[in-house]
């Protein structure tokens, strides 16, 4: 293998997603004379645009797909190789691509991302969403659909059920509340009316200093209908086919075959038991059909005993790290979630091999306020930091874990509300050792603070609360907030002034 090397690069980065491209940019700016290769399976690369630092740790940006020539023009020492890595040989510091070429490296960074955890493989009626192609396929299939079943409870499912129009959506979640990855049941209750109506009710703030929530009965279901026309009025139409980014659904029209109203039916606390075609249904014992029986191309049986016919199923049950092409013959330490374990310098267990983004699992001792979530922001931060670490090692410079890993922070939009998540926003890992303060104004804002030992350790801010910077500071300063008690969320106190 070593003898077949076409060329040896000082640095090779695998993957043209946010992590890989940011790593390339960082390395190429720090060591402009270094020979860098980006090997990527996709024809386009993803770049960060309109980057904005919102506060110390919160950041916002757009993601654009661009031709790789844009990157090569910017960095003359960069070579982009459009092929997939077939195998990696860490002992000989080389890798082979599917078009049969072999490249050597001095330092390698694997940024191969993740792949959808599909409910079932190779079923033409089950769709996963990962990239622009799969999002366009969804759009095409949706345009002819009357009913779809969405399975999953993460960010993609949340966005999808809100965006789909002109098609009945049955949404199967395994938890007691929607959006379990991002919120608690209280925030879910706040968001649910958005599925029914898009006209926010402007109530006076009601202070709810202690957290309570009503949970649906196990296996229970809810139905919501809404007319989306009100929300769409005045909003500019979006162009079809734009890049899959944090607002990936904005670039595509998620319109079913019917006009007008949206209808979302929720099935809680259930998973998929079986997916079968209409022929298989005919040949199987009688099923309990959840909705009016008709002729559908595919049927899905849930563990709550209900069976639904639909045009297709969207499997939005998360991603698994895409490690497969890199493992054979090597000795990578893998985390429980299947990611390549990386230390606080983004190094894997194999010499001279780094990893960043969805493909890796951060295995250093985390700051008490940080956790890994496979998101754009963390892909960018990890790619940037991996590039810095690789350069620092070559230049024999010391480097410390970047500040961005001090506090988990994420800013996004769900159901058209601005959502900010800080620190241990769901009390992750705190057991019963925490207290919650909640303020909620129906249709306007939902503010939840997680306190532990009198100190703020996390927060969920939904709506235009304007509290993110103050709360970020309170978390980072570890200030004892016991004297303030429930006043902390008193809507009549300008908290920003209070702590200035």
Q: What angle do CA 74, 54, 390 make, to 5 degrees?
A: 45
DSSP 136-182: HHHHHHHTT-SEEEEE--SHHHHHHHHH-BSSEEEEE-SSSSTTTTT
Q: Tell me whether residue 121 or residue 432 sits nearer to ligand FAD (CB atom).
A: 121
Of 15, 309, 427, 463, the one binding ligand FAD by CB under 6 A = 15
Q: Tell me whether residue 421 or residue 456 sits nearer to ligand FAD (CB atom).
A: 421
Q: Tell me whether residue 126 or residue 474 sits nearer to ligand FAD (CB atom).
A: 126
Cross-strand partners of 38: 13, 80
DSSP 440-478: EETTTEEEEEEEETTEEEEEEEESS---HHHHHHHHHHT
Q: Nearest distance from residue 80's CB to ligand FAD, in Å? A: 11
Of 9, 10, 109, 113, the one binding ligand FAD by CB under 6 A = 113
Binding status of residue 18 toward ligand FAD by CB under 6 A? yes
Binding status of residue 118 toward ligand FAD by CB under 6 A? no
Q: Nearest distance from residue 374's CB to ligand FAD, in Å? A: 4
Task: Give whole-number Cα distances, 329 to 88, 92, 261, 325, 350, in Å.
Answer: 8, 11, 54, 10, 12
Stretch that binds ligand FAD, among 18-26, 118-126, 274-282, 294-302 (CB under 6 A): 18-26
Task: Give whole-number Cα distances, 312 to 138, 148, 242, 296, 371, in Å.
Answer: 10, 5, 24, 9, 34
Of 26, 28, 40, 341, the one binding ligand FAD by CB under 6 A = 40
Show contacts with ligand FAD in window 46-105 (CB under 6 A): 46, 84-85
Stretch that binds ligand FAD, among 112-120, 282-290, 417-425, 467-475 (CB under 6 A): 112-120
Of 8, 30, 41, 368, the one binding ligand FAD by CB under 6 A = 41
Stretch that binds ligand FAD, among 16-24, 68-76, 256-264, 284-292 (CB under 6 A): 16-24
- Residue in the structure block whose two tokens are 């792949």: 115
Of 9, 10, 16, 243, the one binding ligand FAD by CB under 6 A = 16
Show contacts with ligand FAD in window 359-418 (CB under 6 A): 374-377, 379, 412
Decide if 230 contacts 201 (C-beta within 8 A).
no
Q: Tell me whether residue 159 or residue 281 sits nearer to ligand FAD (CB atom).
A: 159
Task: Quote the tokens at residue 465.
Answer: 């609360």
Q: Nearest distance from residue 14's CB to ligand FAD, in Å? A: 5
Binding status of residue 129 toward ligand FAD by CB under 6 A? yes
Q: What angle do CA 33, 380, 370 make, to 5 degrees?
A: 130
Q: Nearest distance from residue 12's CB to ligand FAD, in Å? A: 10
Integer Cα distance of 352 and 360 in angstroms: 15
Pairing type for strands 445-452 and 435-441 reads antiparallel
Q: Tell me whether residue 40 or residue 221 sits nearer to ligand FAD (CB atom).
A: 40
Task: Give whole-number Cα distances, 30 to 24, 73, 105, in Å.
Answer: 10, 17, 18
Binding status of residue 179 toward ligand FAD by CB under 6 A? no
Stretch that binds ligand FAD, among 5-13, 107-115, 219-227, 387-395 (CB under 6 A): 107-115
Q: Tell me whether residue 361 or residue 377 sits nearer to ligand FAD (CB atom).
A: 377
Handedness of CA 386, 339, 17, 61 (dihedral sign): negative
Q: Tell me whether residue 20 or residue 152 sits nearer to ligand FAD (CB atom).
A: 20
In a 13 Å sphere around the CA of 391, the CA atoms on its Cβ side amount to 21
Q: Nearest distance from residue 399's CB to ligand FAD, in Å? A: 21
Q: Residue 258, SS3?
A: coil
Of 28, 68, 194, 322, the one binding ligand FAD by CB under 6 A = 322
Q: Nearest distance from residue 344's CB to ligand FAD, in Å? A: 18
Integer Cα distance of 476 and 221 in angstroms: 40
Decide if 405 contacts 366 (C-beta within 8 A).
yes
Stretch that binds ligand FAD, among 37-45, 205-213, 335-343, 458-466 (CB under 6 A): 37-45
Q: Where does residue 350 rank: exposed (0-12), middle (13-18), buried (19+ CB within 10 A)?
A: buried
Q: Nearest distance from residue 464's CB to ligand FAD, in Å? A: 19
Of 103, 125, 171, 248, the one binding ligand FAD by CB under 6 A = 248
Binding status of residue 325 toward ligand FAD by CB under 6 A? yes
Q: Tell me whether residue 290 or residue 387 sits nearer to ligand FAD (CB atom).
A: 387
In a 13 Å sphere around the CA of 100, the CA atoms on its Cβ side amount to 0
Q: Tell me whether residue 48 or residue 474 sits nearer to ligand FAD (CB atom).
A: 48
Decide if 233 contacts 473 (C-beta within 8 A).
no
Which distant-in-sequence residues (6+ apart) come within 8 Å of 252 by Cβ? Answer: 135, 136, 138, 139, 238, 240, 241, 242
Site size for ligand FAD, by CB under 6 A? Answer: 34
Decide if 481 contacts 474 (C-beta within 8 A).
yes
Residues that bind ligand FAD in the complex, under the rule CB under 6 A: 14-20, 39-42, 46, 84-85, 111-114, 129-130, 155-156, 246, 248, 322, 325, 357-358, 374-377, 379, 412
């Amino acid at each position: 293998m070593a003898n077949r090397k076409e060329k040896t690069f000082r640095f090779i980065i695998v993957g043209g997603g946010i992590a890989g491209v940011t790593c390339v940019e960082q390395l190429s700016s720090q060591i402009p004379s270094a020979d860098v290769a980006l090997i990527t399976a996709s024809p386009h690369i993803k770049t960060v645009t309109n980057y904005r630092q919102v506060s110390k740790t919160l950041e916002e940006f757009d993601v654009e797909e661009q031709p790789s020539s844009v990157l090569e023009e910017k960095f003359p020492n960069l070579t982009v190789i459009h092929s997939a890595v077939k195998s990696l040989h860490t002992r000989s510091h080389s890798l082979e691509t599917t078009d049969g070429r072999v490249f050597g490296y001095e330092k390698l960074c694997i940024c191969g991302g993740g792949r959808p955890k599909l409910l079932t493989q190779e079923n033409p009626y089950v769709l996963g969403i990962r990239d622009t192609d799969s999002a366009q396929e969804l759009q095409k299939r949706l345009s002819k659909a009357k009913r779809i079943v969405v399975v999953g409870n993460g960010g993609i499912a949340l966005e999808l059920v809100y965006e789909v129009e002109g098609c009945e959506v049955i949404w199967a979640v395994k938890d007691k509340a929607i959006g379990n990855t991002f919120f608690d049941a209280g925030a879910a209750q706040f968001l649910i009316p958005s599925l029914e109506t898009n006209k926010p009710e402007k109530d006076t703030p009601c202070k709810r200093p202690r957290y309570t929530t009503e949970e649906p009965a196990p296996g229970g279901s809810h139905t919501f209908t809404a007319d989306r026309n009100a929300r769409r009025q005045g909003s500019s139409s979006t162009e079809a086919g734009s890049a899959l980014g944090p607002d990936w659904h904005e670039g595509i029209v998620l319109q079913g075959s019917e006009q007008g109203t949206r209808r979302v039916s929720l099935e809680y606390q259930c998973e998929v038991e079986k997916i079968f075609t209409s022929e298989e249904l005919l040949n199987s014992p009688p099923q309990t059909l959840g909705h009016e029986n008709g002729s559908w191309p595919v049927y899905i049986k849930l563990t709550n005993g209900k069976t639904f016919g639909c045009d297709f199923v969207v499997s939005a049950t998360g991603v698994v790290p895409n490690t497969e092409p890199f493992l054979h013959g090597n000795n990578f330490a893998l985390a429980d979630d299947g990611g390549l374990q990386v230390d606080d310098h983004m190094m894997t267990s194999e010499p001279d091999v780094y990893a960043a983004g969805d493909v890796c699992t951060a295995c250093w001792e985390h700051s008490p306020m940080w956790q890994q979530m496979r998101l754009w922001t963390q892909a960018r931060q990890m790619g940037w930091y991996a590039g810095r670490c690789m350069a620092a090692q070559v230049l024999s410079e010391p480097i410390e874990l970047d500040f961005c890993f001090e506090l988990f922070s994420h800013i996004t939009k769900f159901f058209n509300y601005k959502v900010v998540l800080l620190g241990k926003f769901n009390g992750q890992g705190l057991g019963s050792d925490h207290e919650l303060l909640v303020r909620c104004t129906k249709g306007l804002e939902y503010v939840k603070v997680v306190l532990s030992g009198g100190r703020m350790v996390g927060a969920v801010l939904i709506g235009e609360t304007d509290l993110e910077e103050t709360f970020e500071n309170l978390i980072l300063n570890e200030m004892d907030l016991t004297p303030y008690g429930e006043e902390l969320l008193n809507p009549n106190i300008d908290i920003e002034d209070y702590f200035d």
